[in-house]
Amino acid sequence: MIKNPLIFAATSDVAGKMRGKSFPVSDLEKRTQKGVGWTPTNVMITCFDAIADSPFGALGDLLLIPDESAGVALDFKDGGPVERFMLGDIVDLDGQPWEFCTRSLLKAALDRLKAAGGISLISAFEHEFQFKSGDDQPGQAYGHEGFAQRRAFAETLMAALDQSGLASDTFMKEYGANQYEVTNDPAAGHQSADQAVILREVTRMTAKRFNEDVTFTPIRDPDGVGNGVHIHISFLDESGAPATYDKDGVAGMSKITGSFIAGVLKYLDSIIALTAPSDVSYLRLTPHRWSAAYNNLGFRDREASVRICPVTATDPSSIARQYNFEYRAADAAASPYLALAAIIHAGAQGIEDAMPAPNVTEEDLSVLSPEELKSRGYVRLPETLELALQRFESNETVCGWFPADFAAVYTAHKRGEIAHLNDKDTSARCAAYEEVY
């Protein structure tokens, strides 16, 4: 059959969905200059495709400019089509970043971090997901049999990620029913978020080639565990040397790391609407699910919102290279760009305010009374999306990190999403989200 291959120019939007338009490969040079047309009201398309109340109506024009450095051309060599897509930035007709372009918002946050602390960011997104098919066989948590059942898929996935420019790290059978985890190596600046978008898409594509469906939904079964996105973070100083670790710092945190994490914890309840942004995200963010329920820093504690991760090295310079912390209160309903931007802004605020390093917990905070929690500076994170949105929109500092209309547009979008779920019970809500993420 004759064909003219197409490249899909894409944004990972406010709903955490990859959307865009395609153009013929032969037009690549032109399109990387001129982009493809885009519409402001698209920012109000929720994950369920209902359009929330839009301040833009039918007005306005934008351009989505594909970035060749975030391009994928993936040939599974199974006789099926080559998958071609390219992530990009949305600009207005004057070429300025559009205020709701998630990738541009992340770039602005990275600039702020550099100005605040003279540091650049290295990060990696660790993803959990579930196959929609397969029996919930007991005894498969972290198991070899569970792994072997999906070995063929996993080996193709490793090759597909490799072809897509991601250095694959590990693949494993996770704890939950039909749940798996895939990790890839860290990358600099906005590239790690590009890679997270690519990883989700490529994992879905790979599953489809095996006639399977996977979901990254925050939680599939209200009685089970959730699918987390853990964002691992470290810093480099201006000379490119590791800047996250100090052997004399609290739990090994350098001064700048301490201030960054202190900022993240201080603003966590107000940014969580951006990092865990679905209605069902708050079923996952409950105690004893190895996710995150309080704004605490844990030392190797998987129930903490921010966790200092283990290192395998023993000499100081190797420890400094490996040392990283992870933000655990995120999920795949969030665009990786937006989640990372929110975390960076909170951290940069902590650096600008020279906040001292937080205390480190190694205990179960859920057994403490509200008074005890408060006296130690901890809060229970919002327990619904609506509460999370209220914390976001009422926190002037946090809203001020984003363009003027961002909070109003974001909360209107999310309230449109909630309205769509109005008549649904908990399991119907979970089912709705697993269809779209």
Give the residues lining the site for Mg ion (CB under 5 A).
181
If the CB atoms of residues 181 and 269 are measured against Mg ion, the closer one turns out to be: 181
Query: Contacts with ligand GLU in 368-427 (CB under 6 A)?
Result: none
Give the CB-side neighbour count of residue 323, counting CA atoms within 13 A: 23
Contact assessment for residue 294 and residue 285, using Cβ atoms and an 8 Å cutoff: no
- Least distance to ligand GLU from the beta carbon of 330, Å? 9
| Closer residue to ligand GLU, CB minimum distance, 208 or 302 | 302
Q: Which stretch binds ligand GLU (CB under 6 A): 144-152, 204-212, 239-247, 285-293?
A: 285-293
Tokens of 328: 């655990």
Q: Minimum CB separation from Mg ion for residue 228, in Å?
A: 6
Among 40, 117, 228, 298, binds ligand GLU (CB under 6 A): 228
Cα atoms in the Cβ-side hemisphere of radius 13 Å centred on 435? 9
Q: Does 226 bind ligand GLU (CB under 6 A)?
A: yes
Binding of ligand GLU by 328 (CB under 6 A): yes
**First CA to last CA distance, the chain:** 33
User: Which among 270, 173, 283 is positioned nearest to 218, based on CA atoms?
Assistant: 283
The option from ligand GLU, Mg ion, none interacting with 19 (CB < 5 to 8 A, set by class) reads none
User: For ligand GLU, which stretch binds (CB under 6 A), given 136-144, 222-230, 246-254, 409-417?
Assistant: 222-230
| Residue for token pair 């779920």 | 421
Q: Does 128 bind ligand GLU (CB under 6 A)?
A: yes
Nearer Cβ to Mg ion, position 172 or 319? 172
- List 225, 333, 346, 365, residue binding ligand GLU (CB under 6 A): 225
Give the whole-angstrom CA distance, residue 304 versus residue 215.
24
- The yes or no reply on residue 266 touching ligand GLU (CB under 6 A) is no
Q: Which is nearer to Mg ion, 71 or 218 (CB)?
A: 218
Q: Does 284 bind ligand GLU (CB under 6 A)?
A: yes
On the CB side of 135, how many CA atoms lie within 13 Å of its CA? Answer: 3
**How far is Cα 152 from Cα 150, in angstroms, rounded to an integer?**
6
Beta-bridged to residue 54, according to DSSP, are none
Distances, alpha carbon 168 to alpha carbons 18, 70, 126, 437, in Å:
21, 16, 11, 22
Residue 202 CB, nearest distance to ligand GLU (Å)?
Answer: 21
| Rounded distance between C-alpha atoms, residue 337 and residue 339, angstroms | 6
* Look-up of token digits 């906005």: 190
Q: Cβ 159 to ligand GLU, closest distance in Å?
A: 24
- Residues in contact with ligand GLU by CB under 6 A are 128, 225-226, 228, 284, 289-291, 302, 328
